[in-house]
């Protein structure tokens, strides 16, 4: 039996303070906000701050990511939050600095007695917070942090032996069994807005411009991703009208099936408690779509929990260490294959369309994330870590725990991953999930005139069909970079070095044959 998870209980702050500081990070909203709630209730005056973290931003610039949609999204969301706090009687101090310097310095200038923040599970963020805590303690200034970005975190959902789950379904069952209405209840803030305070003019400087921080404008306004709290609410309202059909529509990239809320979840412009509460309530009313969507939110908690117990994943470790024995295709061949994958030149239309989607918009449909990752790893034989880093560089909704979990799932090296012998067939996936080629035609207009029968595998089209469609393979569209059947055989051999290869040769052949058209 799983260990019961405790229902959410109020934090015992144990004191009241004259002045408190709320440090906003990945929680860019003023409502249902744990840290803001407790600061407003325990401080006579509450100041608010957001730091454009130079430790993060300078690293992005060093990687050449000057036109980063995420920074533009954050800035727009910060501006909306700042306006809302001003209307409520406060303001938001916004600086471009290293947090280890900025937070203690602001606390010193304002005579802050306690800093309030919400948990961030990434190891680098925890190291940052520990460094800030140590400096604050010397002022002296207290530190309080709270669970806010998940429903259950860290050690709240454990198995019967008191250990973390490594398989999703039993975790999900324990998660649902532990859930109470209190876990989904919002943290009220508006009744306590009277405690919000405006900082002195010296700290109330304008929000830094993108250009001042070294970044350039992007196409954010053109890609239908509204920013800020208002944008999150708009997307949630729209999704609720079609949530009941989520289970039936979510796998088809040409259909409006997903919620498109992942970037808002990543930066906290929506509340996870709001989303889970609405999904759970609809599920109890019998909505299959809501039940499926709630499972996706539980997966998010699951991956955060895994990262808490396995911080070494952030250093590139495989969840199952035996998979680190695999010898990937490297050198010039590996580099060429990786670059072709990034540049949408694999010759497999669904994969190429997916890679163009992420390049042009910073978004990739979840089904296509699995297909594109599987292709890089198990068709091209390229180390999954290279794909993981590319997604980390370009995804608007990049969250380390989910990104790492997804890539290790595709590589069969992660928790509850797909079996090593399961290899997505990119043509079969295309025929199944984009049957009329609508998604392919959107991103690969050079293939638009191909009949549906051939658009998933143009190299199978007769010469006259290609000519009528205006396609010259190798010129207007690439020939396939690899043969899928040969690549699958090579992958089965490559994975034989792992302990996961426990089946006999005959069993492996049967299993791989059965999964060849996944």
Q: Give the residue numbers marked as catalytic.
A: 296, 299, 328, 366, 384, 407
Q: Is 301 annotated as a binding residue?
A: yes
246 is in an annotated binding site: yes
Task: Identify whether the C-beta of residue 396 lies closer than 8 Å to the C-beta of residue 362.
Answer: yes
Separation between Cα atoms, residue 169 and residue 61, nearest integer Å: 40
Cis, peptide link before residue 140, omega less than 30° from 0: yes
Crossing angle between the packed helical segments 400-411 and 366-374, to the nearest 10 degrees: 50
In DSSP terms, which residues pair with 3 in a beta bridge?
158
397: annotated binding-site residue? yes
| Distance (Å, whole) CA 74 – CA 80 | 10
3-state class (DSSP) for residue 439: helix
Judge contact between 130 and 62, C-beta under 8 A: no
* Whole-angstrom distance, CA of residue 376 vs CA of residue 410: 10
Distance CA 403, CA 380 (A): 20
Question: How far is the CA of 93 from the CAs of 21, 23, 80, 370, 484, in angstroms?
Answer: 10, 10, 13, 40, 54
Sheet architecture: strand order including 142-146: 93-97, 43-53, 17-24, 114-118, 142-146
Known binding residue 293? Answer is yes
Report how far residue 354's alpha carbon sits from residue 332's, in angstroms, rounded to the nearest whole number.
24
Pairing outcome for strands 142-146 and 114-118: parallel
Nearest to 323 by CA among 425, 403, 424, 407: 407
* Angle value at C-alpha 38, between 75 and 124, nearest 5 degrees: 50
Coil/strand/helix, residue 329: coil
Q: Is 399 annotated as ligand-binding?
A: yes
Three-state secondary structure of 57-100: HHHHHHCCCCCCHHHHHHHHHHHHHHHHHHHCCCCCEEEEECHH
Is 22 annotated as belonging to a binding site?
Answer: no
Coil/strand/helix, residue 442: helix
H/E segment holding residue 156: none
DSSP calls for 333-360: HHHHHHHHHHTT-SS-HHHHHHHHHHHH
Other CB atoms within a 10 A radius of the CB of residue 496 amount to: 14
Exposure string (b/e) for 175-205, b if CB count within 10 Å is 16 or more?
beebbeeebbeebebeebbebbbebeeebee
Q: H or E element: which one contains 140?
A: none
Binding-site positions for FAD read: 246, 293, 296-303, 397-399
Binding-site positions read: 246, 293, 296-303, 397-399
């Amino acid at each position: 039996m799983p260990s019961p998870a405790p229902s959410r209980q109020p934090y015992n702050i144990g004191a009241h303070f004259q002045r408190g500081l709320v440090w906003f990070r990945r929680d860019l909203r003023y409502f249902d906000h744990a840290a803001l709630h407790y600061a407003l209730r325990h401080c006579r005056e509450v100041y608010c701050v957001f730091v454009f973290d130079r430790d993060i931003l300078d690293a992005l610039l060093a990687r050449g990511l000057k036109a980063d949609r995420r920074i533009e999204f954050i800035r727009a969301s910060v501006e909306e939050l700042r306006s809302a706090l001003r209307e409520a009687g406060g303001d938001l101090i916004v600086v471009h600095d290293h947090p280890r310097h900025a937070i203690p310095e602001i606390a010193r200038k304002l005579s802050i007695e306690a800093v309030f923040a919400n948990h961030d599970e990434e190891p680098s963020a925890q190291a940052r917070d520990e460094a800030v805590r140590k400096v604050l303690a010397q002022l002296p200034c207290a530190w309080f942090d709270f669970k806010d970005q998940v429903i259950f975190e860290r050690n709240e959902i454990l198995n019967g032996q008191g250990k973390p789950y490594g398989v999703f379904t039993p975790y999900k069952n324990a998660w649902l069994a532990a859930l109470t209405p209190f876990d989904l209840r919002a943290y009220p803030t508006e009744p306590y807005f009277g405690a919000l305070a405006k900082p002195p003019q010296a700290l109330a400087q304008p929000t830094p411009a993108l250009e001042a921080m070294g970044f350039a404008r992007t196409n954010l306004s053109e890609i239908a991703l509204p920013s800020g709290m208002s944008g999150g609410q708009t997307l949630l309202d729209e999704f609720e009208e079609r949530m009941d059909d989520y289970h039936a529509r979510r796998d088809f990239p040409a259909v409006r099936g997903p919620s498109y809320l992942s970037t808002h979840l990543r930066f906290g412009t929506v509340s996870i408690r709001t989303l889970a509460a609405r999904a759970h309530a609809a599920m109890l009313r019998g909505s299959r779509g809501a039940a499926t969507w709630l499972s996706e939110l539980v997966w998010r908690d699951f991956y955060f929990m895994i990262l808490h117990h396995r911080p070494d994943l952030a250093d590139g470790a495989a969840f199952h260490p035996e998979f680190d024995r695999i010898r990937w295709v490297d050198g010039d061949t590996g580099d060429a294959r990786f670059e072709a994958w990034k540049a949408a030149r694999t010759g497999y239309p669904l994969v190429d369309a997916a890679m163009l989607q992420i390049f042009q918009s910073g978004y990739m449909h979840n089904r296509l994330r699995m297909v594109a990752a599987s292709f890089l790893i198990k068709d091209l034989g390229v180390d999954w870590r290279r794909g993981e880093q590319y997604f980390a560089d370009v995804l608007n909704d990049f969250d380390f725990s989910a990104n790492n979990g997804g890539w290790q799932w595709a590589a069969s090296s992660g928790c509850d991953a797909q079996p090593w012998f399961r290899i997505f067939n990119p043509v079969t996936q295309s025929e199944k999930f984009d049957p009329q080629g609508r998604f392919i035609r959107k991103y690969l207009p050079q293939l638009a005139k191909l009949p549906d029968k051939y658009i998933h595998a143009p190299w199978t089209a007769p010469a006259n069909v290609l000519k009528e469609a205006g396609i010259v393979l190798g010129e207007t569209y690439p020939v396939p970079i690899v043969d899928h059947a040969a690549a699958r055989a090579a992958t089965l051999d490559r994975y034989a070095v792992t302990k996961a290869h426990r089946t006999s040769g005959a069993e492996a052949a049967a299993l791989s044959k059965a999964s060849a058209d996944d």
